[in-house]
Amino acid sequence: MRSTLPTTLSLATILLSAALACSREKAGTQSLTQTANTQRLAQTSKVAVSQSAGGCDASLWNHVYNPTRLQQLAPCLRATGVITESDADPDGDQHFLLKLDPGQDSLVNHRNAKKKGGDLVLEIVCANPTTMKKVKSACTGYSNPIAIPVVGAHVRVTGTYVLDSHNGWTEIHPVSRMDPL
């Protein structure tokens, strides 16, 4: 019995170590995959980010309702495309869908594809009166001067590129500039 006890303990130790290593590797792989997806979105946007450096108004974050839901992927990004939808949200923001010009497909994810027809979501904060009591403080004393384009307009949009954690899609929110092309 004495001679098998060390062997049994060594075998158990090896099996336990292997199980823990596999468990850590699996958890690490899932975490790495999520990190890689976020980095891919930000990495593929570097050209647009560098083109618009300095074109974003960080003070607009003071007027974003519930900003914790927005995960910043790039502090300032420029995108071009055609406005396919425009709606006033109850929180006072003007909500748009932008059909991106060719070469910018990396700015949208699978949720944009599934829920927004592959379009990028845009939001101009405090563009309209709010109808929600709990968000009025975000826009108190501020009215966004950005002109609201019509559906069908070809535009260049500059703003913060984010992942909306409540909906899972990517957005430019808040929009700092929107220029006609």
Q: CATH code at 84? A: 2.40.50.140
pLDDT at 176 over 50: yes
Q: Can you tell me which residue has the tokens 């060390």?
A: 6
Residue 21, pLDDT score: 40
Determine contact, residues 77/170, Cβ cutoff 8 Å.
Answer: no
Residues 24 and 50 in one domain: no
Q: What is the pLDDT of residues 82-120, one digit of tens each?
A: 999 999 999 999 999 999 999 999 999 999 999 999 999
Question: Is residue 86 located within the same domain as residue 127?
Answer: yes
The DSSP symbol for 92 reads: S
Instruction: Quote the pTM value.
Output: 0.72
The arithmetic mean of pLDDT across residues 40-55, rounded, is 46
Q: What is the DSSP annotation of 55-84?
A: ---GGGGGG-SSGGGEEEEEEEEEEEEEEE
3-class DSSP assignment, residue 128:
coil
Q: Which is more confident, 136 or 45?
A: 136
Quick one: pLDDT band at residue 136, thresholds 50, 70, 90? Answer: confident
Q: Is the pLDDT of residue 51 over 50?
A: no
As given in the structure block, the two tokens for residue 142 are 């501020």
The confidence band for 127, taking pLDDT boundaries of 50, 70 and 90, is: very high
Mean pLDDT of 124-141: 89
Burial of 126: CB neighbours in 10 Å, binned 0-12, 13-18, 19+? buried
Rg over alpha carbons for the chain, rounded to the nearest Å, is 23
Whether residues 156 and 111 share a domain: the answer is: yes
Range of the domain at 63: 46-180
| Band of pLDDT at residue 135, cut at 50, 70 and 90 | confident
Q: How many domains does the chain have?
A: 2
Per-residue pLDDT at 10 exceeds 70: no
Query: Are 17 and 77 found together in one domain?
Result: no
The predicted pLDDT at position 27 comes to: 41
**Claim to verify: residue 92 and residue 121 sit in the same structural domain:** yes
Average pLDDT of the residues of the chain: 79
| pLDDT band, residue 6 (cuts 50/70/90) | very low
